Structure 1
Amino acid sequence: MKKLLLPLGIAALMMSSCGSKPASELTLSGLNPKDFQTEVNTQPVSLYTLKNKAGMEVCITNFGARIVSIMTPDKDGAMKDVVLGFDNIKDYINVPSDFGAAIGRYANRIKDGKFELDGEIIQLPQNNFGHSLHGGPEGWQYQVFKAKPINETTIQMTRFSPDGDANYPGNVTAVVTYTLTEDNAIDIKYEATTDKKTIINMTNHSYFNLSGDASTPITDDILYINADNFTPVDSTFMTTGEILPVADTPMNFMTPKAVGAEINNYDYEQLKNGNGYDHNWVLNTNGDITKLATKVTSKVSGISVEVYTNEPGIQVYTGNFLDGTVKGKKGIVYNMRSGICLEVQHYPDSPNKADWPSVVLEPGQTYNSRCIYKFTVEK
């Protein structure tokens, strides 16, 4: 008989009421589930934990369907938390951040917050250099999802977004399913349906620090991106509409190299425009989820994360705007480049680029996107 996965605080209370003595109410990553129990807009928020037989642990809150912690073994077998985040729900609510979130309706930027759909110009909230970023200032990262635990390794998060939400058309129901596999991968599946023609582009916005020490930058990590081309941006981080080759530029990660090897080369316009790496790469994988899209490895811990996806692109962001003003888990200050984001996606501003892969979702269709973060160790 499969055990139902309960919010950890409830599970602990049940164990106490039955006379059992839990080893600890804290998660393996040191989180206290009680610090995540609250209500937002009358909707309950909790912390949920996935565990596999190998001992890996992933903690998720239904506020923004966010990954809060990922505990995975390093080269010495010690468990390390490899993502940035907060250790309480108050900070997630009060400190603007995308840490670990399921982004929607539209991940990344839409130029001037405008797009045309069947002849109608739709104006979205503008929150980033005049553009609409990650669904606007009240995007799904700040909304409560309905959590449905499936078993010890799988949980579904559902968000109903009404017609006109942030001025997006259509009543949209989106489901994010997180599965922790037995081979230490987080398999994320996104599905969405609509009753009116709309656009959608979801992703996960975890900041990875594979050393397990978020006080150290990720610039020495080794990065591989399976992409011969990328989409350049202007000084407002907006895609220009071009697709350019990475060959003979600092954007070339076809041969793995340190993230920081050329990151401060601001003589190269794209690094100046992005304040480092904050770009979309056009993947060579052609939607084949069995092909490796991206890989990052910490030389300190030996931990690697491999990324597989059916999406055409990946936004690699190197935490350029973390500035030391935010304290995360364990009171660690998050300084510039203390995390790297690996956001699989359709290309930024696709609604305004007719020749790029479409992000339009019609009634009767189901949006399907998938991202696998697989954790391995190199000794």
Structure 2
Amino acid sequence: MKNLYLLLAICLLIGCSEKREEVTLSGLKKADFEASFEGKETGLYVLTNKNGAEACITNYGGRLVSVMVPDKEGQLTDVVLGYDNIFDYVAVDGNFGALIGRYGNRIAHGRFTLDGVTYELPQNNNGHCLHGGPNGYHTCMWDARQIDDQTLELTYISPDGEAGFPGNLTIKVIYKLTDENAVDIAYEATTDKPTLANLTNHSYFNLSGRPGSQILDHQLMIHADRYTPVNKTLIPLGELASVEATPMDLRRPVAIGAHIDDAFEQLVNGGGYDHNWVLNSNGDINVLAAKAISPVSGIGLEVYTTEPGIQFYSGNFMSGSDKGKHNVIYPHRGAFCLETQHYPDSPNQPEFPSTVLRPGEKYHSRCIYKFTVE
């Protein structure tokens, strides 16, 4: 087991008793994120911009822990779910705010073939490999270097054979909190053997300023004419289906809860929305890919990406038992995710855009989460 609970608990107790208490705008105590894990030190890195907005990141899993942006009354509001100490992040099997890899989303049956060689991966979700397996990058220790008040660099070398994937993958991720109140995430990676690369961020958003509430009233738009239908275990069927005249048509803003429980086969399969949309933006980072708005707070979230797809997940598997920051219970459908990505199961679906990365090539991906006030 990677999770050394006792060691973390001891380190937290020592850290809390000896270190000067520093508290972020979101109420996080830096000392609660200081521990020793896998021979490296965990910490909480704080980014601020000229507007007074704040983003906090831990190098355990490269996780976005909090994002404080103004609501329609000018009050700073935390819009992402998570925990207020490193122990909970390690102890709970979840993806709150995490960097995901080596392959974000699902690979059918935990198996793919590349250049005639078949690779076996951990099966951690209905017989499939999800988000790189149970010990994916969301559980790894990233090396952190804070470049300036607004920029954090995270690096990780994923060894050949980790979770069954071939090649040493050298990864760099840059988090930047811009003066436009955007969290700009830039990914780079290189490999020494042919491999797969599909990295993303798995932040859970609730824009209302009421983290114990559901997000069914949030208005959502996804700039996509097509999506990838899935079977009952959420593996794509291989087609790019039109959203026309279906509950998957989000080309104009729609309340997330408006059709979420419709007797539509795809929503039944996902227990709600848990699908990949084929973006019309065609990899243009300057074209809006998706937008969500809370009618309560007036906070909007705009998503821009170089990726061909985006996974919209409506928190269907949130059990209502998670106790997050400040002891708030996160309810069923208490957040949504917009994960920019290549399509699920692309390694087994040759008609989908390729996720193969070869020596001499460089993987690039970028996602911008920009927060606005309506």
TM-score interval, normalised by the smaller of the two chains: over 0.9
What is the distance in 1 between the residues matched to 2:320 and 2:288?
A: 33
Deviation at 1:25?
1.7
Deviation at 1:335?
1.2
Name which of 358, 367, 374 aligns with 1:371: 367
Other structure's SS at 1:31 match: coil
Matches for 1:90-169 after TM superposition, within 5 Å: 90-169=87-166
Matches for 1:50-89 after TM superposition, within 5 Å: 50-89=47-86
Name which of 237, 260, 264 aligns with 1:263: 260
**What is residue 351 of structure 1 aligned with on the other side?**
347
What is the distance in 1 between the residues matched to 2:242 and 2:312?
A: 16
What is the distance in 1 between the residues matched to 2:225 and 2:188?
A: 29
Deviation at 1:39?
1.2
Deviation at 1:132?
0.0
Deviation at 1:341?
0.2
The question of 1:42 aligning with 2:63 is answered no
What is the distance in 2 between the residues matched to 1:242 and 1:330?
A: 43
Name which of 261, 272, 286 aligns with 2:282: 286
Other structure's SS at 1:189 match: strand
Deviation at 1:237?
1.0
**What is residue 320 of structure 1 aligned with on the other side?**
316
Other structure's SS at 2:267 match: helix
- 1:318-360 Cα offsets, whole Å, 9 max, x none, are 0001111210001111111100000000000000111111000
What is the distance in 2 between the residues matched to 1:354 and 1:330?
A: 46
- 1:58-102 Cα offsets, whole Å, 9 max, x none, are 000000000000000000000100000000000000001100001
The question of 1:247 aligning with 2:244 is answered yes
Name which of 12, 27, 32 aligns with 2:29: 32
**What is residue 297 of structure 2 aligned with on the other side?**
301
What is the distance in 2 between the residues matched to 1:327 and 1:173?
A: 34
Deviation at 1:34?
0.4
**What is residue 273 of structure 1 aligned with on the other side?**
269
Which runs of no fewer than 5 residues in structure 1 stay unpaired? 1-9, 17-23
- 1:183-205 Cα offsets, whole Å, 9 max, x none, are 11111000000000000100000
**What is residue 326 of structure 2 aligned with on the other side?**
330
Residue type of the partner of 1:66? R
**What is residue 171 of structure 1 aligned with on the other side?**
168
Deviation at 1:40?
1.1
Other structure's SS at 1:208 match: coil
TM-score normalised by structure 1 residue count: 0.93
Name which of 338, 341, 362 aligns with 1:342: 338
Which runs of no fewer than 5 residues in structure 2 stay unpaired? 1-14
TM-score normalised by structure 2 residue count: 0.94
Identical positions, percent: 56
Residue type of the partner of 1:37? E
Other structure's SS at 1:25 match: coil
Deviation at 1:251?
0.2
What is the distance in 1 between the residues matched to 2:369 and 2:49?
A: 15
Aligned residues: 359
Other structure's SS at 2:318 match: coil
What is the distance in 1 between the residues matched to 2:110 and 2:94?
A: 20
What is the distance in 1 between the residues matched to 2:170 and 2:330?
A: 34
